[in-house]
Amino acid sequence: MKSTILVTGAAGFIGFHVVKKLLTVDNVNVIGLDNLNHYYDVRLKLERLNKLGINSYKIAMGMNTIESVNGNFKFIKIDLVNKKALDELFVDSAIDTVIHLAAQAGVRHSIENPSAYIDSNIVGFSNLLEEARKQKLKHFIFASSSSVYGLNKNIPFNTEDKVDYPISLYAATKKSNELIAHAYSHIHEIPVTGLRFFTVYGPWGRPDMAYFLFVKAILEGKPIRIFNNGLMARDFTYIDDIVEGIIRTIDLIPKELSNDVTNSKAKYKIYNIGNNAPVSLLKFVETIEQELNIKAKKEMCPMQPGDVAETFADSSNLIRDISFRPKTSLNFGIKEFVKWYRHFYNV
Determine whether 341 is an active site residue. Answer: no
Contacts of 191 (CB under 8 A, 6+ apart): 137, 138, 139, 140, 185, 253, 254, 267, 268
CA gap 196, 145 in Å, rounded: 4
40 — phi, psi (to 5°)?
Answer: -140, 175
pLDDT in tens, 63-106: 899 999 777 899 999 999 999 999 999 999 999 999 999 987 76
pLDDT in tens, 316-335: 999 999 999 898 999 999 99
- The CATH code for residues 103-201+238-275+312-327 is 3.40.50.720
Contacts of 81 (CB under 8 A, 6+ apart): 119, 120, 123, 124, 127
pLDDT in tens, 121-138: 999 999 999 999 999 999
Query: Domain spans of the chain?
Result: 103-201+238-275+312-327
Write down the pLDDT at residue 60: 82
Single out the catalytic residue among 40, 117, 149, 170: 170
97 — phi, psi (to 5°)?
Answer: -140, 140
